[in-house]
Amino acid sequence: MTVLSLKGSGWTIGTGKPLAIIAGLNVLESKELALTVGAELKAICADLGLPYVFKASFDKANRSSIHSYRGPGLEEGLKILKAVKAELDVPICTDLHTAEQAEPVAAIADIVQIPAFLCRQTDLVVATARATAKAGGIVQVKKAQFIAPWDTKNIVTKIGEAADVGVILCERGSSFGYNNLVVDMLGIPEMQKLGCPVTIDATHAVQLPGADPRTGGASTGGRRDGVAIIAKAAVAAGADGVFLEFHTDPDAALCDGPSCLPVSGARALLAQLKALHAVVQD
């Protein structure tokens, strides 16, 4: 399997490397919150010897309701991410939604993420691959909820035909009946067969799409207690990294609160995941 690294940061992912951490906020709410959560996670990862990338979205375009909070938008969001990158001295991961966003996002983000629902959109995939390659970053692709793990081969091939850029595949669950997702841990080694490191998005894997009782189904529900279970199971199955979302007060989060974890519990969880990863690597 390919080992990928981000130049100048020491962040690596792949076989034989430490468990890679991509973690932060679901969506940007303020610069202050981003710095608070990012600083805490950076310190924890430094103590544990885990390579860390700060993640937050500037826009959550795929919302159940037009009234749902989406974030500060491209211009303000990238400004915040640039500040977090500079002040905390950490690499950045964020997602994008249109081909036009590729170049400005790749100029700031070290890992540019293609959302699951958009992973087959050719114009977006090609633009992201080319812009990220030009900027020297890595592309992370969320596996869509409606495709099999081995079918991500087409996405990897498409990216490779567009540009010479490193690719991470991210498992985030598959649609399983109504308002539910399930994670097939066998999909992790299947995607690794394509030569790509694989991460687990344990946060979004516990979503209950369109099933938040607080809004009568106008937003996505979640099972917060399941995040640690899925993260640990995925690392035991051989995942190369974890993708996690935290908040200082998850119940007050402006987006996907039922699925994110309190940052106060990050150290204990990451320590467990590191220990599991060490067992798997032996």
Q: What domains, with CATH codes, occur in the chain?
A: 4-281 (3.20.20.70)
Structure tokens at 226: 């399941």
Low-confidence ranges of the chain (pLDDT < 50): 211-212, 215-219
**From CA 26, how far away is CA 4, in angstroms rounded?**
24
How confident is the prediction for the chain on average, in pLDDT? 92
CB 57 within 8 A of CB 76: no
* Tens digit of each residue's pLDDT (9 = 90 or more) over 6-51: 988 889 999 999 999 999 999 999 999 999 999 999 999 999 999 9
Q: 107: burial class by Cβ within 10 Å (0-12, 13-18, 19+)?
A: middle
Q: Which residues contact 74 (CB under 8 A, 6 or more apart)?
A: 58, 59, 101, 104, 105
Q: Identify the pLDDT of residue 190.
A: 97
Q: How far is CA 55 from CA 91, 105, 230, 240, in A?
A: 9, 13, 19, 17
The catalytic residue positions are 26, 60, 256
Structure tokens at 169: 């595949």
| Cα angle value 26/229/96 (rounded, 5°) | 25
Measure the N-to-C terminal CA separation of the chain; round to a whole number of Å. Answer: 17
**Of 236, 242, 115, 259, which is closest to residue 185 (Cα–Cα)?**
236
Q: Identify the pLDDT of residue 219.
A: 44
Beta strands in the chain, from DSSP E residues, in sequence order: 4-5, 12-13, 20-27, 52-57, 92-95, 111-114, 138-142, 166-171, 174-175, 181-182, 198-201, 207-208, 221-222, 241-247, 261-262
* Tens digit of each residue's pLDDT (9 = 90 or more) over 150-186: 999 999 999 999 999 999 999 999 988 887 889 999 9
Q: 69: burial class by Cβ within 10 Å (0-12, 13-18, 19+)?
A: middle
Phi, psi of 183 (to 5 degrees): -105, 120
